[in-house]
Structure 1
Amino acid sequence: MATSEEHPKHLIRTLLHSLREYKRESLLAPAFVMVESILEIVIPTIMAQLIDQGVSGGSMPAIWKFGLILLGCAVVSLFAGFMSGRYAAIGSSGFAKNLRHDLFEKVQSFSFTNIDRFSTGSIITRLTTDVTNIQFAFQMIIRVAVRAPMMVIVAWIFSFRISHSISMVFLVIIPILGVALTGLALSVHPIFEKVFHTYDHLNNIVDENLQGIRVVKSYDREEHEDRKFGRVSQRIFRLYCRAEHVMAFNWPILNTCVYGAMLIISWMGTKQIVASHNNPMLGLTTGDLTALVTYAMQILMSLNMVSMIVVMVVISRADAERICQVLNEVSTVRDNSHPITKVPNGSIKFNDVTFRYSEGSERPVLEDINLDIKSGKTIGIVGGTGSSKSSLVQLIPRLYDVSSGSLEVGGHDVRDYDLVALRDAVAMVLQKNVLFTGTIAENIRWGNPDATDEDVVRVCKLAQADGFIREFPKGYDTYIEEGGSNVSGGQRQRLCIARALLKKPQILILDDSTSAVDTKTDKLIRNAFSTEIPDTTKIIIAQRLASVQESDEIIVMEEGKILDHGTHDELLKTCEEYRSIYESQTKNQGKGDDDDERSNNDYEEQQRAECYC
């Protein structure tokens, strides 16, 4: 992971990679700024000529001549200013668009190991607030950062031509202001770093609260959540106040330099004008003093712009570091140079596999895993909470990579496959079922965007979802709200199973994915698997033994290790842990088929009642 103290050149090089098709606009903006700046610097000199030759000299032709030149310069300067603003807006907005795209694309390429290093709130902050700050800073740089230094340098040269002594005032003021602004920047940068880290925490709290809003309300914990949010918000307030207390010195320092310079220039200029009455060769004219005052204002206002840039760059430096942390993050799961592009079958083999979520973990999550699963077999996995059942199956599509040993799919190490090809051959229905905003049909087609309506209906029938879908007023066009919040847990599970089946995978993994459906529906789904996809390797993780009882082989896991494996009958004889689970789940049964049927019907009614489409 990139550090927060990256070299500025490296930060700039990484960020500018996202400029791409907006390089032209980003170069035209400062070019027009240069034209605008040159004309603004020339105008005071022309004004001085108009005053000295036209007004003071009483020459009407000179007034017309220099007046028209001034008008032409003003019009061209106005046009250049408009074009620079237009191109700067296009360049900065396009740069921000590409930067967001690159960040999002990078996150999509991450393995679960990479994603675990960044919180959800942190990634959201980087995609929104951080990119927006970079956009504003970039726009100021291609306009103001070009204009301000150029105005300072050229205006000082022009003022030097008018009066050597007065122009030296600027050479004293500029370093003083520069040192002061640099000191402020160095002081406030660490504070802004803390601000953005605290923003990450704030976004995490909001995300967690909204995800669990039903739990918050059911436990009447709104006040607790308000206090938690308030504490973090208050911390951001205090940090911003600390930063503003430091940056508050910016304007007093700037105004002191500006008004001090104006007083000195006025005093020195007045003395030289008085001296010019005795010896015109030694003093200034009224036009010269007017030009000098204008140049002084241009120089000092440019320094004011520089101070604004300094503040913006200080803020955006922390943003740039955080963005580059994501852009420079190297995915732990990558294709090799010549990947295999087709998975021949659904066989799976674990060879002495050990897995850790991070290299620094003392205790492995999985240890000494050896499994040989033939293609087309149905495998059940059971075990207590924390036995690493989910971690085991997440290695198959390379959501994580093994720490040691090897994992083979179709007779080849998973690390030799093209990632797209491997994951296209594996369908997973995870513990946390996720649906996306859109219609039911659109959600199902995540499994295959080119699937026909008949294909969608077929897999929904297999997943026992077609019945409740047709009860909705709009059927398959029913709109799913964010996260599938307007369907029940059991309905959400069946829709996710249908989505996975539409992929026609060679390996189907169900990670406790029928826990919210009744036993009758669970059995119908499993029967559909055996008849409709007999050649697909099926791995079923379940807490309910009835869901895996008919599997070709059942694996019992405990604390990241395989405790035992075999058929249901074999494990009842050989595995005490399995027998204990079986007895605890079956000792209260015996009400009879009628009661079971009535219980299943009641469950279905409850599921339908939970839906409020």
Structure 2
Amino acid sequence: MGLVSQEPVLFGVSIAQNIKWGAKDYENNPPTQEDVEEACKGANIHDFIMTLPEKYETLVGERGALLSGGQKQRIAIARALIRNPKILLLDEATSALDTESEKLVQDALDKSTLNRTTITIAHRLSTIKDSDMIYVFGKGQVIESGTHAELVTMEGAYTSLVKAQALRETSDATFVKEVSEKKRKKPAYTIDDKVSEDTEYTEELSAKVFSKKRGGFGDFFWLLKKYSSQTLIFIPAAITAFIGGCLFPSFSIVFSKMLSAFGNPNLEEQKKQTNLYALLFFLFAIASFVTIGLRTYLFGKGAVKMSVRLKRDMFSKIIYQDSEFFDQKINGSGALTSRLATEPDDVYKVNADAFPVILNAFGSLVAGVVIAFVRSWMLTLVILAVVPFLAIAQARQSKGVIGGVKKAKSTEELIAQEASESITNIRTVTSLSRENTFIESFVQQTTLPYKTTIKSHYINGIFYAFSTCAQYLVFSLIFYAGSRFVIGGHITTEQMFNAMYAIAFASIALGQSSTVMGFFPKGLNSSSTIRDLFGTEPKIAAFAKEPEEHKFILPSELKGDIKVDDVSFSYPTRPDIQALKHVNVNAAPGQTIALVGSSGSGKSTIINLILRLYDVSDGSVSVDSVDVRDWPLDKLRDHPSLVSQEPILFDCSASENIKYGKPDATDFEVQQASKAANIHNLLMDLPDGYNTRVGGKGSMLSGGQKQRIAIARALIRNPKILLLDEATSALDTESEKVVQHALDKASVGRTTISVAHRLSTIQDADWIYVFKNGKVIEQGNHESLIGLGGTYTSLVKQQSLNVH
């Protein structure tokens, strides 16, 4: 069984691998490259793939983010065809394709349906008019059934749908409707198209890691300085920890005197001494309770406050990055989510857990060495002579751990990315029967840390064993040297015990610190990557100060005049491929402009440039005669509303999703926008009405329902500029007609730029631009373009249906 869904889902691997995962028995009998290419030819995507530098090995990005909707859909179709299934399920399989590609793919699908059962869900009736049987649904029931010819003769619901999708094909008085008086009187013309078969941006991902060579401690203290308002509390906390550390070796003074007191032959004097020292023991206990409790509270409070601010700032930094940042494979949603969840916590553990213990150990070391020197400098020198060997062993062990952590960390991010992608797209994984494939891939990823760090663990084990063994060797040396000094009369037994226990207690504190040393490699490595993130400035900053040469005066009231002037553009990560070549597009205030053409021809790129998701390579894009590069981004993006081809909803209520367009909107405004988008009645029929949760990415709704909520979210802003990127592609014919009527009304008084494959949605546009290979090859209104008899006319004929 093969399934092609309305919203194509691709995985962040190569094009070839995406298609191969659709094959039957993939694990035991993977398809050949010839099989992959044959499936792609059947889906009309082979020629496009061959224009890419890496061809079939080109990475498509997370969820296919680096391809246009039509390109993703054709790859999804190829993935279904490679299965050669007995049952083919097509859920709006060609909804994202342009007319020309749809016809070719539909022909291929028609051929592929021979000797197999095919069930097609379609809004475009041209894709199913040759079906053996057509069922017309209404309110959950079949209201009509029959072939296309039979249903048309019934003059019922199906006939109404056919008529609603009919396009005017003549350029004379037979037009069904008169041309609107507001149409531009400018004649249509054709631009000579002598371009190479370049294609629109499809970035080959680069695993560019932006971390720099810097010391971990330097980055860590940079963070402490950056968040000084939260970390100033660390100063009294550090003093408290240091004092607490000094208590332990100081205890050796009382302890050695207690041992000497037991050797006093005068029992009365011995009793007085032991009582005094017992009281001092109690006071040491109280002091230890106060210092440890206070240091833990102070460090914990500062660490929590810093961690909260750090997470907030990291999230803000990520959110305000430009599109080029998210085009990087290393910055996929899974990897960024993993970093956001783990890196602040790694820093927190250093501050809250490691620092208190380390400073405590440092205080113990200082106090222990001072006390030991005072009581017996000769014995202390002997002890200190072997300390460097312990330090070398510990340093070598820590270095190995840090290296292992860095390798494991990068792998963990890849694991998180793969797990996130698999779980998010679980329906696609299940429909392809690829559960075992993704499990095996996940298992392979999880074994990478073992393979990359196992050698370092062997070496670290040797050094760790050596450092532990060295502690016992030190004690044996202390006893031997101490006994020699006592026998020689250089020190007393009490002095030997005092010096020995001072170092011993300091060593115990140092030993305790080893339990938290593992926090440092992760914390320091995370500090470096966090600092790198903070140092990554977007080329297109949301709140950047404008340079002096870009001073300008913003229009007091936006009119919606848009001008794309001689624009050439290449996406930053693919500078050798031009997505647009000397394109000119003009939209006067209140006009409706349509952009049509094949997938990957540059239509959506125009919208990206108007929103300044990217900057042009040559030429300019202006809004109300002000270059978009001179607009503050927050002000520029306040005016347009965008409805994309694939609607994105959040896991909250329908009302909250709509209010994302205007957070302060009233319930009345939400309902009015919903009525305009033809979604009000459906929402009212739900158990919780507008408060019904839509699920992650709107998973509880159909594609058309999600799209209408997205349209309501756009309309509630009452924008001066309306950008529609296949805004009605997911709607059925009846809903499309109602929503299109609402959009037509909503476009009055505002500039509308509509990217469309369904020409019925844009035939009343004031001006239509026909794109091919990044250039405008025809332009004019619907009637004048029909009169040309060129590319646009061919598209119209391909979408037309015969009523009789």
TM-score (norm: length of structure 2):
0.69
**Alignment correspondent of 1:322:** 529
Deviations 1:558-581 (A, max 9, x none): 222222221112222336332222
1:272 counterpart residue number = 485
Q: Give 2:705's aligned amino acid.
A: Q
> Is the Cα–Cα contact under 8 Å of residues 114 and 332 in structure 1 kept in the other structure?
no
Deviation per CA, 1:219-241: give whole Å up to 9, x if none. Answer: 21111111111111121332343
CA–CA separation in structure 1 for the residues paired with 2:617 and 2:530: 28
SS at match of 1:590: coil
Residues 130, 236 of structure 1: CA spacing in aligned structure 2 closer, same or farther, 3 A cutoff?
same
Q: Distance in 1 between matches of 2:214 and 2:778?
A: 50
Q: Structure 1, residues 68-109: CA drift from partner, whole Å, max 9, x if none? A: 233212211221111111222222222222211111010111
Q: Which residue of 2 aligns with 1:226?
A: 439
CA distance in 1, matches of 2:447, 2:291: 45
Residue 590 of structure 1 is matched in structure 2 by 802
Which segment drifts farther, 233-242 or 436-445?
233-242
Structure 2 distance, partners of 1:309, 1:210, is 34
Superposed CA deviations along residues 93-148 of structure 1, whole A, max 9, x for unmatched, are 22222211111010111111122232212211211122222221233453123222
CA 1:246–1:500 in structure 2 vs 1: closer, same or farther (change >3 Å)?
farther
1:76 aligns with 2:283: no
Q: Secondary structure at the match of 1:480?
A: coil
Task: Rate the CA distance shift 1:421–1:575 in 2: closer, same or farther, 3 A.
Answer: farther
The answer to whether the Cα contact below 8 Å between 2:250 and 2:367 also exists between their aligned partners in 1 is no
Query: Is the Cα contact below 8 Å between 2:243 and 2:363 reproduced in 1?
Result: no
Q: Give the aligned partner of residue 707 of structure 2.
A: 493
Identify if the C-alpha distance between structure 1 residues 297 and 577 changes in structure 2 by more than 3 Å, giving closer, same or farther: farther
CA–CA distance in 1 between the matches of 2:383 and 2:579? 67
Letter of the aligned partner of 1:227 in structure 2? E
For residues 269 and 455 of structure 1, the distance between their equivalents in structure 2, rounded to whole angstroms, comes to: 87
What is the match of residue 60 of structure 2? none
Per-residue deviation, 1:176: 1.2
AA at the equivalent of 1:436: F
Map of 1:184 onto structure 2: 397
Alignment map for 1:356-435 (pairs within 5 Å): 356-358=570-572, 361-435=575-649
For residues 520-551 of structure 1, give each alpha carbon's deviation from its aligned partner in whole angstroms, at most 9, with x where no partner exists: 32222222223244111111112211111111
Distance of 1:7 and 1:577 partners within structure 2: 61
- Whether the aligned pair in 2 keeps the contact of 1:438 and 1:480 (CA below 8 Å) is yes
Aligned equivalents of 1:574, 1:169: Cα separation in 2 = 100
Shift of 1:45: 0.9
Contact residue 188 and residue 246 of structure 1 kept, 8 A: no
- For 2:243, give the aligned amino acid: V
Query: Given the alignment of the two structures, is residue 503 of structure 1 paired with residue 717 of structure 2, yes or no?
Result: yes
Cα deviation, residue 18, structure 1 = 5.1
Which residue pairs with 1:516 in the alignment? Answer: 730
CA distance in 2, matches of 1:190, 1:355: 42
Does the 8 A contact of 2:243 with 2:291 survive in 1? Answer: yes
Cα distance, 1:359 vs structure 2? 6.1
- Pairs within 5 Å for 1:277-316: 279=489, 282-285=490-493, 287-305=494-512, 307=514, 311-316=518-523
Worse overlay, 93-102 or 501-510:
93-102
1:464 aligns with 678
2:351 aligned residue? 138
Q: Which residue of 1 aligns with 2:421?
A: 208
Aligned match of 1:48: 256
Partner SS state of residue 251, structure 1: helix
Residue 336 of structure 1: aligned partner: 545
Q: Does the CA-based 8 Å contact 2:216-2:525 persist in structure 1?
A: no
**Is there any run of 5+ residues in structure 2 with no aligned partner, and where?**
1-208
Provide the C-alpha distance between the structure 2 equivalents of 1:206 and 1:441, rounded to a whole number of angstroms. 31
Any residues of structure 2 matched to 1:57-206 within 5 Å, and which? 58=266, 59=269, 60-117=271-328, 118-206=331-419
Give the CA deviation at 1:340: 5.9
What SS class does the counterpart of residue 123 from structure 1 fall into?
helix
Code of the residue aligned with 2:320 in structure 1: it is S
Whether contact under 8 Å (2:596, 2:603) holds in the other structure is yes
Give distance in 2, aligned partners of 1:575 and 1:370: 22
Kept in 1: contact 2:601–2:775 (CA 8 A): yes
Partner SS state of residue 51, structure 1? helix
Q: Retained in 2: the 8 A contact 1:29–1:142?
A: no
The amino acid of 1:42's aligned partner reads: S
Q: How does 1:30-49 map onto structure 2 within 5 Å?
A: 30-49=238-257
The residue type paired with residue 97 of structure 1 is: V
2-structure distance, mates of 1:513, 1:35 = 67
Q: CA RMSD in A?
A: 2.3
Equivalent position to 1:349, from 560, 563, 585 = 563
* 1:369 partner amino acid: V
**Higher helix share goes to which structure?**
1
Contact 1:39–1:74 under 8 Å retained in 2: no
Q: Which moved more, 1:162-171 or 1:488-497?
A: 162-171
The C-alpha deviation readout for 1:223-265, integer Å capped at 9, x for no partner, is 1111111111121332343443333234312212210001111
Output the amino acid matched with 2:327.
Answer: D
Distance 1:38 1:219 in 2: 65
Q: Which residue of 1 aligns with 2:61?
A: none
Shift of 1:310: 5.0
The higher relative CO (CA closer than 8 Å, separation ≥ 6) is in 2
Find the aligned partners of 1:243 and 1:543 in 2 and give their Cα distance.
57
DSSP-derived class of the 1:438 partner: coil
Please give the alpha-carbon distance, in whole angstroms, between the structure 1 residues aligned to 2:306 and 2:341: 13
SS at match of 1:134: helix
Does residue 542 (structure 1) correspond to residue 762 (structure 2)? The answer is no
Amino acid at match of 2:445: V
What is the aligned residue count? 584
Say if 1:470 and 1:396 are closer, same or farther in 2 by CA, change over 3 A.
Answer: same
- For residue 654 of structure 2, the aligned residue among 440, 456, 461 is 440
Identical aligned pairs, as a percentage?
25
Provide the secondary structure at the position in 1 that maps to 2:590.
coil
Paired AA for residue 471 in structure 1: D
State which drifts further: 89-98 or 214-223.
Answer: 89-98
Q: CA deviation at 1:180?
A: 2.3
**Rounded Cα–Cα distance in structure 1 between residues aligned with 2:539 and 2:552:** 16
